Amino acid sequence: MNTRVVVTGIGMITPLGLDTPSTWEGLIAGKSGVDYITSFDPQGFETKIAAEVKNFDPANYLDRKEARRMDRFIQFAAVASLEAVKQANLKIDPTNSERIGVMIASGIGGIQTLSQQFGVLHEKGPSRVSPFLVPMMLGDMASGQVSMILGAKGPSFSTISSCCSGADAVGEAFELIRRGEVEAVIAGGTEAAICPIGIAGFNACQALSRRNDEPQKASRPFDAQRDGFVMGEGAAVLVLESVDHALKRGAEPLAELTGYGASSDAYHITQPAPEGEGGARAMRLALKKASVRAEDVGYINAHGTSTPLNDKYETMAIKSAFGEEAYKIPISSTKSMTGHLLGAGGALEAAICALAIKTSTIPPTINLEYPDSECDLDYTPCNARLQKVNVAMSNSLGFGGHNTSLILQAWR
């Protein structure tokens, strides 16, 4: 079977807002969600900045007792899922629950709980470790908890592929529906790794920006002065459905998901393959599956992390996949505003592509002040652009050599 798949709902928790409308408004305004870290004292750390989710109280959305038994990454996923399902007006009940799945990824999982409980073990001994440690830290528990909250009894699991995790969750959910195994999937990604061990670990591998004097300007994809990514946190969840299921219940599709391509560099644990060879293959695979020509693509949401090698090689990969058409396509990296949501990034950026299609608006790449001669494409610098988008591509590239591309199209 090759069932068509549509997006009918979107939920977001990001450094720009606690829901989809506020996040989208911030993106179009070119607002930065980066600031000094407040969740812990970063004194002594090389990096003192991050894109934190602000003013989030899970008790405003979830049962207070149950929320205390969830790591922050699970809380984000639960709240984003509730928003997505509400927007889709998807009612899950005994008549359809076994045909609705959940696939919410996390690249890192409950690192905040794990880190905190190591402190308890060290200071108070093994008998004081929380009985909820394991279910709070496991990466699959965002999917598990969401399936319980919503009553979805179809397949429920998590993809883990570093910074491609959320994109792969959306892609694999797409394939489940295409094969006719389910009618709908609540799919996306979530992450909450802004904690001392998370920041220290990424600092140790020289990945994070150290532009501590100008937090809002630290994430600057494709800019000649970029010096590393800014860690973000949050979640994005999409309701994906078969066309028949969506139309039968009167849902209005926001966009259609038509292509998914994944590849591996088989090259290095952190660096992309030279000239972005693996990323280019993922893009070509996605275009082929979607039956889309290079000249049909009207927007690319780039992985665009603001690291020297990623941005250079992703630019080369786009040129390889699109040829001369690469110079005609508006591209942006919304990580310039949200920071890098790690395992949630690909899901967030797929959702952003759906909104770009729906609103005919391309969000900008902010902080692109000093052009890099090796990054010479149209990155939509500084300001959003009103432009019709019929086909959009979302790229994700991850540690371990993972590459994922998704294609979304206007619903017809």
Q: Each residue of 229-275: pLDDT tens digit?
A: 999 999 999 999 999 999 999 999 999 999 999 999 999 998 889 99
Same domain? For 176 and 75 the reply is yes
Same domain? For 146 and 88 the reply is yes
Q: Is 164 a catalytic residue?
A: no
| Count of structural domains within the chain | 2
Domain assignment of residue 169, yes or no: yes
Residues spanned by the domain of 379: 258-409
Residue of 99, 177, 103 lying closest to 140 (CA atoms): 103
Pick the last residue of a domain from 202, 218, 248: 248
Same domain? For 190 and 263 the reply is no
Q: What mean pLDDT do residues 362-373 have?
A: 97
How far is 238 from 83, CA to CA, in rounded Å? 9
CA 128 to chain centre: 35
Pick the last residue of a domain from 248, 276, 302: 248
Q: Is 163 a catalytic residue?
A: yes
Tens digits of residue pLDDT in 20-40: 999 999 999 999 999 999 999
Please give the backbone phi and psi of residue 39, each rounded to the nearest 5 degrees, phi first.
Answer: -75, -15
How far is 37 from 60, CA to CA, in rounded Å? 23
Tokens representing 267?
Answer: 């090259």
Domain assignment of residue 372, yes or no: yes
pLDDT number for residue 128: 97
Task: Count other C-beta atoms under 10 Å from residue 394's C-beta.
Answer: 30
Tens digits of residue pLDDT in 217-242: 999 999 999 999 999 999 999 999 99
Among candidate residues 164, 195, 303, 353, the one labeled active-site is: 303
Q: What mean pLDDT do residues 166-186 have?
A: 98
Confidence category of residue 338, pLDDT binned at 50, 70, 90: very high
Among candidate residues 195, 340, 353, 402, the one labeled active-site is: 340
Please give the backbone phi and psi of residue 338, each rounded to the nearest 5 degrees, phi first.
Answer: -90, -10
Same domain? For 230 and 306 the reply is no
Q: What mean pLDDT do residues 152-166 have?
A: 97
Same domain? For 44 and 133 the reply is yes
Q: Is 245 a catalytic residue?
A: no
How far is 105 from 77, CA to CA, in rounded Å? 9
Confidence category of residue 7, pLDDT binned at 50, 70, 90: very high
Same domain? For 172 and 58 the reply is yes
How far is 282 from 295, CA to CA, in rounded Å? 17
Same domain? For 114 and 201 the reply is yes
CB 83 within 8 A of CB 234: no
Please give the backbone phi and psi of residue 379, each rounded to the nearest 5 degrees, phi first.
Answer: -95, 20
How far is 318 from 250, CA to CA, in rounded Å? 38
Domain assignment of residue 182, yes or no: yes
Please give the backbone phi and psi of residue 167, each rounded to the nearest 5 degrees, phi first.
Answer: -65, -40
* Residue linked to tokens 């959003």: 384
Same domain? For 211 and 95 the reply is yes
Same domain? For 19 and 126 the reply is yes
Pick the last residue of a domain from 192, 225, 248: 248
* Residue linked to tokens 């994906």: 240
Among candidate residues 163, 164, 353, 375, the one labeled active-site is: 163
pLDDT number for residue 2: 83
Same domain? For 310 and 228 the reply is no
pLDDT number for residue 236: 98
Same domain? For 282 and 339 the reply is yes
CATH of the domain at 100: 3.40.47.10
Q: Point out which residues pair with 408 in neighbouring strands.
A: 257, 392
Same domain? For 20 and 141 the reply is yes
Domain assignment of residue 253, yes or no: no
